[in-house]
Copies of this chain bind each other. A is one copy, B any other.
Amino acid sequence: MVAWNNLDTLVSYKKLTELAKVDIKEAMTGEKGAERVKKYSVPMAEGMAYNFGAKQVDDDIIACLAELAEEAQLVDKYQELLNGEIINTGEGRMVLHQLCRGQLGTDVFEGEVNKRTFYSDVQKAIAEFANKVHAGEIVAEDGQPYNTVVQIGIGGSDLGPRALYLALENWAKTNNTLKMEAKFISNVDPDDAAAVIKSTDLAHALFIVVSKSGTTLETLTNETFVKNALVAAGLDPKKHMLACTSATSPLAQGEDYMAAFFMDNFIGGRFSSSSSVGGAVLSLAFGPEVFGAILDGAHESDKTAQNADIWANPAMMDALIGVYERTVLGHATTAVLPYSQALIRFPAHLQQLDMESNGKSVNRYGEPVNYQTGPIIFGEPGTNGQHSFYQLMHQGTTIIPAQFVGFKESQIGMDDVIEGSTSQAKLKANVAAQIVAFACGKDDEDKNKEFKGGRPSSIIIGDQLTPRSLGAFLAHFENKIMFQGFTWNVNSFDQEGVQLGKVLAKKVLAKDTDGALAVYSDLLEI
């Protein structure tokens, strides 16, 4: 059995706080800097690597992080999760998103149902449906094929699938596997749904309503909004609507859907890209094989996360360096900076994944913790960010650790040599330059032009952003965040912080307000 203890009760944590801090500028300068960068690298699935040469650590700190991993039983806890223990204690649920990607623990059952079989069967049903749509066996009212798929969902039903779609849209076009364009409706702002409806060929569009509970206000509202538009266009909603929901939700009982693809309570929204939530829209957009490749890549990451050796477990190394930065060094924010335009919405997905999972002040038992937990995450693709907020990162009064991402090759492969180098070479040169600029800085007599350095960063390096490497990349972060939650002893799998706003919004709509809330309602003319 594993023991769930607060971070500040662990011997290795106390030791960690007492170890000498590293001067990154000094450590990264000259030949010893080169040696560090070569050495401080952990291989990832799908040929990628997590390099932390420019992080504020040294051999002693890493050795202590390894002790912490052991004392906190991180891999044992992960194994318990894989084996179907109730890891989400607040809601009394298993945590099974990894099981969508393959079996790594013992068989897991809900009642009589083997959950691996359940998830596989859902994937097969989606693949069969998608293949029929692509083959023209399932067609719209006019006998013509469907050409667009629109996901109606919010939060985890939107950010992850959208980030994955955008990450592979150009790859799919280039590799002739873009079967249908995908669009997304998320916000309850009527302009969001209206804009999509107005720009979509409704007669040949499939809409996927995604809500695990079947009660999400925004999603049900947008579903009705879309159905009204379909009816107004003389179309039959039953020929255009699919559902991704749990078997017990109101949506599952509806007869209004062409098909319903189930998920369950053991997969949180922000971890649901691997379930039918991501599977339906991505299989329809790219074909089931592409979605399968994403899952395969993710499964490879899940395997590496089982390694007890921190030097062979990139998610655990990344996680513990992050805990050190957040809780020992006190950096509240982390910037996620992919040098890949395709990853434009990945920072928004990671923002949810990380901040919703570990933005907690109580431990698994509901007791307040006395240390800092999950960081604030933000980011934009490079090189764009270099011409924007990097100014503060280089010369501001707050240190922001950075997580860079770079790929050796582009996705589309269209490139030109301009002034002696390709655009891809320029892109890569910039990410390499930024890491060293943040770490080493530059002295200058003019203090306005001085860079103090000492800004820590890591980089994930891959060959190319493909379905498999994207899956591995996604799972790396899911597993990193899981390990961090274990280390902070918080429940990374509930989200009670989203409830109060819902309750108050209902009161406003019911005109059941007083005090400040009533005044804001008046000011906004609700």
Contact = CB atoms under 8 A, between A and B. Distances in A.
A514 B34 CA distance: 8
A386 interface: yes
A377 B380 CA distance: 12
Interface stretch (A103-111, A288-296, A300-308, A497-505): A497-505
Contacts of A427: 187-190
A218 B383 contact: yes
B395 A432 contact: no
A194 B412 contact: yes
Contacts of A467: none
Nearest to A331: B332
A524 B126 CA distance: 38
B37 A436 contact: no
A376 interface: yes
Nearest to A33: B516
Each complex incorporates copies of this chain amounting to 2
Nearest to A449: B496
B190 A388 contact: no
A432 B521 contact: yes
A312 interface: no
Contacts of A238: none
A283 interface: no
Interface stretch (A72-80, A153-161, A240-248, A259-267): A153-161
A490 to B, nearest CB: 10
Interface stretch (A13-21, A46-54, A141-149, A271-279): A46-54
A416 B519 contact: no
A175 to B, nearest CB: 13
Interface string A103-129: 000000000000000000000000000
Interface in A344-363: 348, 351-352, 355-356, 358-362
A524 B447 contact: no
Interface string A214-230: 00011011101100100
Contacts of A156: 387
A359 B497 contact: no
Residue among A339, A397, A524 with max Cβ neighbours from chain B (10 Å) = A397
A514 B31 CA distance: 8
Interface string A414-444: 1110111111111111111111110111100
A381 interface: yes
Contact of A449 (B158, B358, B499, B505): B499
A283 to B, nearest CB: 22
Nearest to A35: B519
Interface in A312-362: 332-333, 339-342, 348, 351-352, 355-356, 358-362
Main secondary structure of the interface of A (DSSP, over half): helix
Contact of A422 (B41, B190, B390, B524): B190
B373 A376 contact: no
A70 to B, nearest CB: 25
B29 A410 contact: no
A132 interface: no
Contact of A424 (B190, B351, B501): B190
A518 B495 CA distance: 44
Interface in A25-58: 28-31, 33-34, 36-38, 41, 49, 51, 53-54
A91 to B, nearest CB: 10
Contacts of A516: 28-29, 33-34, 36-37, 53-54, 435-436, 439-440
30 contacts: A29-B515, A33-B515, A37-B516, A187-B381, A187-B382, A188-B423, A190-B412, A191-B411, A193-B423, A194-B410, A220-B418, A355-B388, A355-B391, A355-B392, A361-B397, A366-B446, A366-B447, A369-B397, A371-B397, A372-B398, A390-B501, A391-B498, A394-B501, A406-B524, A421-B509, A425-B526, A428-B526, A429-B521, A440-B516, A448-B491
Given A51-B523, A432-B526, 4 more contacts: A359-B396, A366-B447, A374-B397, A432-B521
Q: Closest 7 interchain pairs by CB?
A: A359-B392, A155-B387, A433-B504, A359-B396, A378-B378, A352-B388, A394-B497
